[in-house]
Amino acid sequence: MSKVAVATAAAMLLVACSAPAPTTITTIPPSSVTPSPSEVSAPPLELSYERVIQRVLPSIVQITTKEGLGSGIVYDSAGHILTNAHVVGSATRMDVTLATGSASRKARLVKSFSGGDLAVIKVDDPKGLTPARFGDSSKLRVGQFVLAMGNPLGLSGSVTDGIISALGRTVSEPQEPGSPGATISGAIQTSAAINPGNSGGALVDLSGQVIGIPTLAATDPDLGGGAAPGIGFAIPSNTATDIAAQIVRYGKVTNSHRAALGIRGSTIIGDNGQLAGVAVAKVDKGGPAEKAGIQPGDVIISVNGKDTATLPVLAQELSALKPGQQVKVEVVKEDDSTKTVTVTLGTLPGD
């Protein structure tokens, strides 16, 4: 699991779905649930939880590759499964089992969109799959009860509960093996425990609609990388379903709706040992950076006056901007001179 930086004032790290082990509610298939006398008199909230779990859990799957396992959500009756790109990793074939229990099914990768940490796979045999219902994440409210469903630590069909703690967060992860280095804008922060294996599962409201894709959880560097309880992040359902719909229809992402400079680069350290900016290794031919005069060897140090000391920080700044928007980019040239150029942002490619 990869550690990633949170774009908040607090010093904190993120890990791809790593958090303290929660108390889990392991469910059984809805068909075998028989109401007991105690359930008849159960509190309304408890009954709501039970109904949502019975409704949604049949749409949750476990995805197993040679590198590990994660979760996914049945997207449609044709057998498309929505998940995280870091769950799929480099695999093109994987095994899928229902969270409610079933024989393993073979699946193939349709397409990954690493820039948004999303992917779509397709099972060879879609018979009996139950597509999930997706909600409108633009209508979410802080304080709403939510359930996180998935397969943490391989415990199939596990459920944790919490609330929506905040909306509109920007979080990012460094590019490492198994982690695509995505920056997620507009992320949902939740107190529902998210653990290894929850990635790609479902964050669900009490009407039984999927409103997010659990993706990251926070750790506290002051505790030696220990878990920061109750701080997890999910990709909004509107973002996830938009990307999934493009992949299903076109086999790729045709419009990421995300801004790009059109460079490849890396963070550099200055002579004083401090983070010094993003060194440009390559510019896309005919892209925004090249048109503005940015060249390989330049070091980007700010965008619209905001320091960009690292590549993740630069990605975070770009995630808040739109394609076609003009920005001021400050660069240090190879002769140590400083220059500010105006860049008309392009669109982040769909991989």
pTM of the model: 0.82
Confidence of residue 172 (pLDDT cuts 50, 70, 90): confident
**Domain-terminating residue out of 191, 223, 254:** 254
For the stretch 263-308, pLDDT in tens is 999 899 988 888 889 999 999 999 999 999 999 999 999 999 999 9
114 and 148 co-located in one domain: yes
pLDDT at 224 over 70: no
Average pLDDT, integer, range 101-118: 92
**Domain-terminating residue out of 254, 285, 312:** 254
- 202 belongs to a structural domain: yes
For position 19, what pLDDT does the model report?
Answer: 29
For position 159, what pLDDT does the model report?
Answer: 94
Q: Which of 169, 195, 212 minimizes the C-alpha distance to 5?
A: 169
201 and 301 co-located in one domain: no
- 38 belongs to a structural domain: no
Q: Which of 101, 95, 37 minimizes the C-alpha distance to 66?
A: 95
282 and 147 co-located in one domain: no
For position 26, what pLDDT does the model report?
Answer: 39
Q: Which of 71, 51, 47, 67 minimizes the C-alpha distance to 59?
A: 71
CA atoms within 13 A on the CB side of 115: 20
194 and 337 co-located in one domain: no
295 and 197 co-located in one domain: no
129 and 271 co-located in one domain: no
112 and 163 co-located in one domain: yes
218 and 336 co-located in one domain: no
Question: DSSP string spanning 176-227?
Answer: ETTEE--EEEEEEEE-S---TT-TT-EEEETTS-EEEEEEEEEEEGGGTSEE
99 and 203 co-located in one domain: yes
SS3 at position 116: helix
For position 33, what pLDDT does the model report?
Answer: 47
**Is 86 noted as a catalytic residue in this protein?**
yes
Write down the catalytic residue from 59, 71, 80, 86: 86
How far apart (Å, rounded) are the C-alpha atoms in residues 327 and 15? 31
For position 297, what pLDDT does the model report?
Answer: 93
Helix (H) or strand (E) holding 122, with range, is strand 118-123
241 and 306 co-located in one domain: no
CATH of the domain at 304: 2.30.42.10
Is the Cα torsion angle 247, 136, 314, 345 positive or negative in sign? positive
209 and 336 co-located in one domain: no
**Is 257 noted as a catalytic residue in this protein?**
no
For the stretch 11-25, pLDDT in tens is 345 555 522 233 333
**Domain-terminating residue out of 254, 287, 305:** 254
Confidence of residue 152 (pLDDT cuts 50, 70, 90): confident
Write down the catalytic residue from 158, 199, 237, 256: 199
The answer to whether the CB of 82 falls within 8 A of the CB of 246 is no
**Is 77 noted as a catalytic residue in this protein?**
no
Question: What would you report as the CA-atom Rg of the chain, rounded to the nearest whole angstrom?
Answer: 21
- 37 belongs to a structural domain: no
Write down the catalytic residue from 117, 161, 205, 298: 117
pLDDT at 54 over 60: yes
How many independent structural domains does the chain possess? Answer: 2
Domain extent, residue 302, equals: 259-347
How far apart (Å, rounded) are the C-alpha atoms in residues 67 and 65? 5
pLDDT at 194 over 60: yes
- 36 belongs to a structural domain: no
